[in-house]
Amino acid sequence: MEQGKRMAEKAPKKPKRKMSKEEIEKKKKIITRTFFSMIAIIVLVFVALIANDYIILDNNKKTNLVINNKNVTSNLKNDILIEDNIIYLSKSDIANFFDPYIYDEKETNQIITTYDKKIAAIGFEKNSITINGSEKNVYAHAMKKNDVEYLPISEMKDVYDIEIQNKENTKVITMDSLDKEQKRAIVSSNLPVKSSTNIIAKTVDRIKKGDSVIVVSSEKGYTRIRTENGKLGYVKSDKLENEYIVREEMKEEKQVEGKINLTWDYYSAYGSAPDRNGTSIDGVNVVSPAFFYLDENGKFRENIGEKGEAYIEWAHENGYKIWPMFSNAEAARKSLSITSNIMNSYEKRQKLIENIVDACVEYKIDGINVDFENMKQEDKDMYSRFIIELTPRLKEMGLVTSVDVTAPDGGETWSMCFDRHVIGKAADYIVFMAYDQYGVSSTKPGTTAGYDWVKLSLNKFLQTEEIESDKIILAVPFYTRVWTTDTNNKTTSKTVDMKNIDKVIPDGVEKEWNDELKQNYVEYTDNGNKKQVWIEDNDSLKAKISLITENHLAGVGSWQKGMESEDVWGMIKEVLEL
């Protein structure tokens, strides 16, 4: 057996027969015909699909949300709920799309939401909603489901100023802001709406000749549209005709065109408005008299009277807007808890806001300048809530909200009590009080407002706090301080008006320019005491005000009218090109 196996292994293999030339050519032709047949079939199928629009429509498995012609369904944190024809959106989704500052008010068990010109409160039991202080009945209330809070957004269209449509057949809900432009066009023939402008793209909807569609945008011969079914897609631009505007964009007009030049016209809560009749302030377009304040009991007070009414008349006759200052200085002087008590109560905040609104209506003023200082650091968020809730009420009447804040770095009750980012978002303007770098409480002598410090702080507003430049008003001082260090090395200071500084400095004392601070500096001895002055004059102010144009800020503020030298207004006007 082994021998037979070895013999088999040694047997020569039968050689393969070579194909003839005719057979090779025949095989090549078969392969070529098969290849081209397959290509032809693929092409025919592709053409058939395109020609006959055989691609299956994109059917929604769950309710889609389209806000201002953008499908935001993938960004939803929770599903949309529809119950008894009421559309509910979760609180977290409303925060994402409409109101980042929406919050639960524990005191009244309501959800408080603000948007543009509206502040609304809605509870979890009663079918009613309070909008800008007025209560109205609705068909639903807020609710909780699986520990998620939902708001009946279809009952809150007036709050968010939107139009809502529920396309039940395609499971699409559309929300359109009524202040945004809407364009439509007429379809000239029956055609599919594609998901993209690519050659191969799925069909998202079909439209017929004569249909009206919303025009979203145009690009390279294609137009992105929204169909009556709420679907977004592309058609060739030449298939649309008779484009027309249904709703024009409503742009908010600024109260002051160009740069703002605001000056505070301060007098104490016990004084009277100054008599400005027969005078004018060159280049100024906003004045802020000390009309309103919180008293030592936390009550809203006004200090206007006949002289204040005459002041209002004078301002308006000269074309100035009036944004009276509203201060908490009297309350803070007694106790920080007075302001804290109001800020931490929704009902007390609303009462204070109603007082402000009523005063604005009564005296026909143009805005409010909120100057709250010396507050508790832990009240930072609730002070922001006050600004968030005040701004819509004033905006509804066409009035401006401006808010004064200090430099980002400083003490708990002086600097850390402000959330500048939120205030900058909520208010019309945030006013950086760029002074008191070394203030009245300082035990070390120094400049009132060095250029380097102002620039560094301003960069923090713009970069760290991320505040839009055209919302920042840079406020500069019309005063300086004379610092005295006695023989016991004790330091005190005295505030001197800008207009009087040359009267204070003795003759023969030479001024030295500090290019880092952009200020003149003097030092001298008086009765054995060392005197130091970092001078605020036209040169120092001009350097700081130049930061406004360099950084495209909203404008300038000045503290305070009456302290300035006569030529300062001309300088400001020239730098800001007023």
Map out the domains of the chain with their CATH numbers.
64-165 (3.30.457.10), 181-247 (2.30.30.40), 261-402 (3.20.20.80)
The length of the chain is: 578
pLDDT higher than threshold 90 for residue 527:
yes
CA atoms of 284 and 305, how far apart (whole Å): 24
Phi, then psi, of 255 in degrees rounded to 5: -65, -35
CB-based contact 94:149 (threshold 8 Å): no
Greatest CA separation found in the chain?
137
Quick one: pLDDT at residue 54? 43
Overall average pLDDT of the 508-517 stretch: 97
CB-based contact 434:457 (threshold 8 Å): yes
Measuring CA to CA, which residue among 202, 241, 246, 208 is closest to residue 223?
Answer: 241
Bridge partners of 185, per DSSP, are 213
CB-based contact 226:69 (threshold 8 Å): yes
pLDDT higher than threshold 60 for residue 488:
yes
Owner of token pair 């929204």? 226
pLDDT tens readout for residues 178-205: 999 999 999 999 999 999 999 889 999 9
> What is the sign of the dihedral through the CA atoms of 197, 200, 204 and 205?
positive
Q: What percent of the chain has pLDDT over 70?
A: 90
CA atoms of 223 and 215, how far apart (whole Å): 7
Tell me the CA distances in angstroms from 35 to 30, 32, 48, 231, 512, one per residue in order. 9, 5, 20, 40, 92
CB-based contact 359:398 (threshold 8 Å): no
Strand pairing report for 191-194 and 203-207: antiparallel
Quick one: pLDDT at residue 2? 46
The pTM for the full model equals 0.90
CA atoms of 430 and 446, how far apart (whole Å): 26
pLDDT tens readout for residues 144-183: 999 999 999 999 999 999 999 999 999 999 999 999 999 9
Tell me the CA distances in angstroms from 481 to 161, 191, 497, 528, one per residue in order. 51, 77, 9, 19
CB-based contact 263:241 (threshold 8 Å): no
pLDDT tens readout for residues 239-267: 999 999 999 999 989 999 999 999 999 99
Quick one: pLDDT at residue 61? 85
